[in-house]
Structure 1
């Protein structure tokens, strides 16, 4: 279990994260394929992103963003570091490989063991010579009910790197499908389920699958909150309430997955704050208490990141003067 989080500014004590965490976001990425030129968050959007995060820190105490842009997704860890510093919000960067359409050519010729060594190198020495070390592996992806052969290799590589370094793994399950197969593959490679978050489960209207994943010990990511074109928040709320009612409040993670510039508030989108301004009020109106909300927005993501499989970090108040500072420089 890790008592320090590896952020883009260096190690940060878990106890310093006293406000909510966004469990799956993007601050800098490029997912353009074919005619889709809008799936970007570029340096030109950095000021708007910074202002959104700073406003959420001031209004809601936002303390940490888990940034799941990995290799092949236009990752920019230096840009993340500038946003984190300017917004005074801690950011955890990621490594890994996304799902198959975004795989670089060389993956077709590389074993899972060799891929794992690449990830371990980034985790130990930093991304691309930057010295900025990732603190999570993800969003490692697949599409369909079963991973393709290249996706299975990258998932296995993620599990091997995670067991070697102590990091946890967040997945991309396209439209919520394939989570059980992802978990089976990751755990078969030696990764405990409590160090796995299965992504995009709010896009899968199947409470039985959510219960099965949660009963195994994995985290269930309701991480596309506000993306009404994929799923209505009304359905997301129903699915989350069903998971809570089944006794799995300690397995749920929440976020908005801002993955294109059109989602930014400055461009008329829902923004990173939709979770706090719209969805959590609806959760409270449905009778969910503040202790549970603190769990799904703070304690659960911290337990996921640290690999803690027991009591969550003790609750704390909102930071009075911005987020706590990292424990040291990037390593």
Structure 2
């Protein structure tokens, strides 16, 4: 029914952006404005009172590390606020990509309950083509499209299938939420079974899953493997994350790896004593460098990979070797 149309530009909240203009790193999975309090956690909020702190953090990271782009994966049912995203982007000088789709079932809006795959697909396509809620802001990615177990439930099967169909129709890619890293293979099977190419899929939260075999399986199938909760030590230590990442890189899958911090509550902001959006740059990447990563590998992981994911596989200038995984076998 749908044809695949790979994107040529990154669709940001302030307009289209050529990948070649993204000269610095990209955070592949973050939240800048969300509200999950209705799910039972009043701390899982980044609201209007946190906007200045969020903006200041991004602006500081742009100055210190050249942060160029944030992929913001707050979708339907998660308190998405694209007007706030546009303000943060304009005031921080960091481009922002907004998401669409549906999170896992606990956070599905009531209207999804009686809707079939065709209706859900149509809703996503209209939003992608016409903009979100009359704002004129268009999504640049479908995500974080969620499931919460080893296999998606019936409602999640419908929303994930709709995500795959909408991705095929519009050229956007799909970033998933795999609860605690579980269920990634089932998500990928569902999405590819609906006709979406695996390189248009990023499987989320894989750094929370202590299973290098699954990571290799996903990457070998062509999907991106997201190590996107870096710094969340209450879930898994960064020491363990680094070992899992090195195992994936040693297996030859650097070109299928994404990195981010998934800041999803105000307590993670540096202004409130948290690790902040910059933990990846200030703490984790130096440890990766100490393990043998060179500048080209860091650029691959933090810039070229997320840009290729967002644009459906388009090559990004600036690489000495797009398939290179490490320098002189050090990793």
Q: TM-score range by the shorter chain?
A: over 0.9
Residues 34, 179 of structure 1: alpha-carbon distance in 2 compared, 3 angstrom cutoff: closer
- 1:106: how far off? 1.7
Q: Please name the residue that 1:50 is paired with.
A: 55
Match among 231, 248, 251 for residue 246 of structure 1: 251
Q: Please name the residue that 2:126 is paired with.
A: 121
Match among 129, 132, 137 for residue 132 of structure 1: 137
Residue 279 in structure 1 maps to residue 258 in structure 2: no
Match among 179, 182, 185 for residue 180 of structure 1: 185
Residue 109 in structure 1 maps to residue 114 in structure 2: yes
Residue 255 in structure 1 maps to residue 264 in structure 2: no
- 1:35: how far off? 4.6
Residue 206 in structure 1 maps to residue 211 in structure 2: yes
CA RMSD of aligned residues (A): 0.9
Number of residue equivalences: 314
Match among 300, 304, 322 for residue 295 of structure 1: 300
* C-alpha distance in 2 between matches for 1:104 and 1:17: 35
Match among 313, 316, 320 for residue 316 of structure 2: 313
Q: How does 1:143-222 map to 2 (within 5 A)?
A: 143-222=148-227
- 1:33: how far off? 3.3
* C-alpha distance in 1 between matches for 2:121 and 2:232: 33
Conserved 8 A contact 2:39-2:107:
no
Residue 95 in structure 1 maps to residue 95 in structure 2: no
- 1:3: how far off? 2.3
Deviations 1:273-320 (A, max 9, x none): 0000000000000011111110000000000000016xx31228xxxx
Q: Which runs of 5+ in 2 are unaligned?
A: 1-5, 320-331
Deviations 1:35-84 (A, max 9, x none): 52110000110000000000000000000000000000000000000000
Residue 61 in structure 1 maps to residue 66 in structure 2: yes
Deviations 1:219-250 (A, max 9, x none): 00000000000111011000000000000000
Q: Please name the residue that 2:324 is paired with.
A: none
Secondary structure, counterpart of 1:98 in structure 2: coil
- TM-score, with length taken from structure 1: 0.94
Q: Which runs of 5+ in 1 are unaligned?
A: 317-331
- TM-score, with length taken from structure 2: 0.94
* C-alpha distance in 2 between matches for 1:47 and 1:209: 39
Deviations 1:144-193 (A, max 9, x none): 10000000100000000000000000000000000000000000101000
Q: Which has the higher contact order (CA 8 A, sep 6+)?
A: 1
Residue 226 in structure 1 maps to residue 228 in structure 2: no
Residue 23 in structure 1 maps to residue 28 in structure 2: yes
* C-alpha distance in 2 between matches for 1:13 and 1:263: 31
Q: Please name the residue that 1:319 is paired with.
A: none
* C-alpha distance in 2 between matches for 1:33 and 1:3: 37
Structure 1: 4+ residue segments shifted above 6 A = none
Secondary structure, counterpart of 2:37 in structure 1: coil
Secondary structure, counterpart of 1:241 in structure 2: helix
Q: Please name the residue that 2:17 is paired with.
A: 12
* C-alpha distance in 1 between matches for 2:181 and 2:63: 33
- 1:108: how far off? 1.4
* C-alpha distance in 2 between matches for 1:34 and 1:188: 30
Match among 60, 63, 85 for residue 90 of structure 2: 85
* C-alpha distance in 2 between matches for 1:91 and 1:301: 13
